[in-house]
Structure 1
Amino acid sequence: MSNPKSEIAGHGPDVLDTSARRRSLWAACGAHAVHDGLTDVIYVLLPIWQAQFGINYTQIGMLRGAYSGVMAAFQLLASRAARHWGRERMLVGGTAIAGLAYLVAGHAGGLSVLMIALVLGGLGASTQHPLASSMITDAYEAGGGVKEALSQYNFSGDIGKTLIPGLVGLLLTVVTWRTSATLIGLLGVVSAILVGSLIPSNGMARATREKTPKAIVGKDSATGLRALLATGTLDSAVRMGFLTFLPFLLKSKGAGTAGIGLALTLLFVGGAFGKLLCGYLGVRIGMMKTVWLTESATSLLVLATVFLPLASTMALLPLLGLALNGTSSVLYGVVPELAGIGKRERAFALFYTGTIGGGALSPVLFGKLGDLTGMPTALITLAAILLLTLPLSWYVQKGLDNGGAPSPRHSG
């Protein structure tokens, strides 16, 4: 690597800045893809675990909630630990632990070991969102384009959700679920090494951050952040609740294991483009209009999946994925604008704690409701609850408008 001091005399700093930004973005996107893929492959495995271990919907919700709950609970601790150990170590170590969790799950002989594996996976996954998001924000704020970079970051997560569950769905037609779990566990460990090689050195990243004045000045809006947290938590709760029980809804309509894997792939393909499209749409038309559009569409499409036959439901899944996942991309991009100076990493950690916590609790609550009233009623309830995000987004917009920083449509 050339000497940064010698580069400053010529055109080197621009090259240095661009290289550091790209490496930070690639590292964060790679980590997001792997972590989200490892997280959402659980949806493919849940029906198999139900059959093998004889568990009910409430226990299924507990398994899914264990992973998400631990991931949410340790977000703030991961953010604090990164100050002492560094982002690179925490992000690489967390990715490796998430992979090891599936190696343990592949050898589970009962529900208790499976629960331990998922708790371990959640612990590793807790490092990814706050650290990768703040790493991208720090890398791009000086030159602009933070929201667009965060949209690409969110897009990459859905690429992982599309590829890894889809691949496992195909693998399950030729190998056992234990072999599939072992293979994706190895994928996590190898990915940790690759992510570590991509993250720019501290000196390289510092030179990029210090080159120009920061472009984002947070409004430090406590009311706006609370409304954003509530909006994100409800959005995540509905998304995770729906994703957890979609395989069982499809199974009741006659879908097999391969069909469920295909359905999730269709949903996540739509979700990937939704996160990319809605992130840019939020910059163009504003956060509130985008949220109203995506959340209303999601509520209607969830209702449609309950009542339509299997073929029609499958056809709707890409569009549902676009709306279901698109909202989160808009909400992520608002966090740096509402956070106060020096509070960004903590704001991201709080936001992800709330949203992932809501996603962890939702499968347990709606699993219980599904046991009592049936899965269709639980899904209809989810669709109704989602509409509460519409007035909440208005309060978020007020927090954005009542400060001195640029509005969403004019900033980075």
Structure 2
Amino acid sequence: MDSATPSPAQPCAPQTRQRTLALSGLAHALHDGYTDAIYVLLPVWRAEFGLDYVALAMLRGLYAGAMAALQVPASWLADHVGGRAVLILGTLLASAGYALAGFSGGAMGLYAALLISGAGSSVQHPIASSAVARAYGSAARGPLGTYNFTGDLGKAIIPAALSLGLAFAPWRPSLWVLALAGVAVAALLVVFMPPIAAAPPRSAAVHRTGRRGGRGFPLLLSIGVVDTGVRMGFLTFLPFLLQMKGASQPLIGTALALVFLGGAAGKLACGWLAQRWGSIGVILCTEGLTALMIALATVLPLLPLLMLLPLLGLTLNGTSSVLYGTVPELAPADRTERAFAIFYTGVIGSGALSPLLFGALGDQAGPVVATLGTAAAALINLPLALALGPRLARR
């Protein structure tokens, strides 16, 4: 990266910090919105192309798999050509993938387009999150929570807007509009995104991180992998649960928006609660409540389920905020991009594989049993969280 950029030892000016957070958050909202807009499109593509549950899961899995596989290469590329440039190019590539999806004539075209879009989105998490962490230095935990929150805003707004658009226009033009939105965000990054601060010296980074953090990171990653698998598996089957209960296409989009808005609130609330009650207690509460409410979602009628979805979204996403804010505390400061890249490789890889596993279960036993399987998986994180506790220095 550019050696002229400021380091955490020389804090960025307040205006630079605010611009970095705002534009990183905007990129996060766009890319996360792209990721979860696929859930709205799954029933549409199933009806148009006659895809089974495994084929539908592969659409989401290819997108997430490309993101997971390219996280670490994206951080390496940022070291050589600059994070700002890589973030802009990745945003344009993600937009191009959605534009190509609108031209697809079958499943293979969709697979290729979503693979391209997922590759473009791979750059956002390690680079934008590191930009925020570097800009704010030791005061980054709060801004990182805000950055994390913006992703869920994108998950709420973009799928809901797409679902509304599908009520008035075919799905292909709707995807082209989404692609144009991505080009607009890339243009804003070109004009306004500040340079990303350089890493601190290796000796200072090593001094900051002790052996305790090194032992805790694999457990932190394991919890993130399970948590993401539960979330992606449940969201894959939620539209079909809603259809079984009589929901229309616009109502499905509204229901997903309720989940994602609840998730955004959960990321803010759980980060705050973790500072006061401790990370382990919050993880135990969110994972346990998630398992309970997913089980309830399979038996509740449509209206009570819609009322439950914001609270379910809160617990479903709340754990991720606690884990995400802990990543820079368990890694050397000069390897922030690598730590975020490894973390997101694991969790996004889980998001790619888990829908395939739960999709196979859904094809064999039906969507209700597959959804109950995600509830059972959430309980795995309870012993993992208890094992992580002694490895956290203060939380």
Once the 2 structures are TM-superposed, how far is the Cα of residue 341 of structure 1 from its aligned partner?
Answer: 4.4
Residue type at the aligned position of 1:287: S
| 2:253 aligned with 1:261 | yes
State how 1:61-80 maps to structure 2 within 5 Å: 61-80=57-76
Task: Tell me, in whole angstroms, the C-alpha distance in 1 between the residues paired with 2:124 and 2:332.
Answer: 22
State how 1:390-405 maps to structure 2 within 5 Å: 390-401=382-393
Once the 2 structures are TM-superposed, how far is the Cα of residue 327 of structure 1 from its aligned partner?
Answer: 0.7
Task: Tell me, in whole angstroms, the C-alpha distance in 2 between the residues paired with 1:120 and 1:269.
Answer: 27
Equivalent position to 1:174, from 168, 187, 212? 168
The sequence identity of aligned pairs, in percent, is 47
5+ residue gaps in structure 1? 5-12, 402-406
Given the two structures, how large is their TM-score scaled by the length of structure 1? 0.90
Equivalent position to 1:329, from 307, 321, 333? 321
What is the match of residue 184 of structure 2?
190
* Contact kept? 2:200, 2:333, Cα under 8 Å: no
- Deviation string 1:298-331 (CA, Å, 9 cap, x unpaired) is 1111011001011111110011111101110110
What is the match of residue 378 of structure 2?
386
What is the match of residue 227 of structure 2?
235
Equivalent position to 2:363, from 357, 366, 371? 371
Task: Tell me, in whole angstroms, the C-alpha distance in 1 between the residues paired with 2:186 and 2:97.
Answer: 13
* Contact kept? 1:57, 1:370, Cα under 8 Å: yes
Equivalent position to 1:19, from 7, 10, 15? 15
| 2:190 aligned with 1:199 | no
| 2:209 aligned with 1:218 | yes
* Contact kept? 2:66, 2:115, Cα under 8 Å: yes
Residue type at the aligned position of 1:103: A
Once the 2 structures are TM-superposed, how far is the Cα of residue 209 of structure 1 from its aligned partner?
Answer: 7.8
The alignment yields a C-alpha RMSD, in angstroms, of 1.9
Question: Measured at CA, do residues 191 and 81 of structure 1 come closer, stay the same or move farther in structure 2, by a change above 3 Å?
Answer: same
Given the two structures, how large is their TM-score scaled by the length of structure 2? 0.93
Task: Tell me, in whole angstroms, the C-alpha distance in 2 between the residues paired with 1:389 and 1:219.
Answer: 25
* Contact kept? 1:98, 1:188, Cα under 8 Å: yes
| 2:104 aligned with 1:113 | no
* Contact kept? 2:200, 2:334, Cα under 8 Å: no
Between the two proteins, the alignment pairs up a number of residues equal to: 384
Aligned-partner SS, 2:17: helix
State how 1:343-358 maps to structure 2 within 5 Å: 343-358=335-350
Task: Tell me, in whole angstroms, the C-alpha distance in 1 between the residues paired with 2:267 and 2:303.
Answer: 25
- Deviation string 1:346-365 (CA, Å, 9 cap, x unpaired) is 11111000000001101111
| 2:29 aligned with 1:33 | yes
* Contact kept? 1:238, 1:382, Cα under 8 Å: yes
* Contact kept? 1:102, 1:184, Cα under 8 Å: yes
| 2:139 aligned with 1:148 | no
Residue type at the aligned position of 1:82: A
Aligned-partner SS, 2:392: helix
Residue type at the aligned position of 1:116: A
Task: Tell me, in whole angstroms, the C-alpha distance in 2 between the residues paired with 1:166 and 1:209.
Answer: 41
* Contact kept? 2:94, 2:116, Cα under 8 Å: yes
Residue type at the aligned position of 2:306: M
5+ residue gaps in structure 2? 5-9
* Contact kept? 1:40, 1:161, Cα under 8 Å: yes
- Deviation string 1:12-53 (CA, Å, 9 cap, x unpaired) is x98x62112111111210110000011100000010000000
Residue type at the aligned position of 1:185: A
Equivalent position to 2:55, from 54, 59, 83? 59
Task: Tell me, in whole angstroms, the C-alpha distance in 1 between the residues paired with 2:269 and 2:94.
Answer: 29
Equivalent position to 1:282, from 262, 274, 280? 274
Aligned-partner SS, 2:104: coil
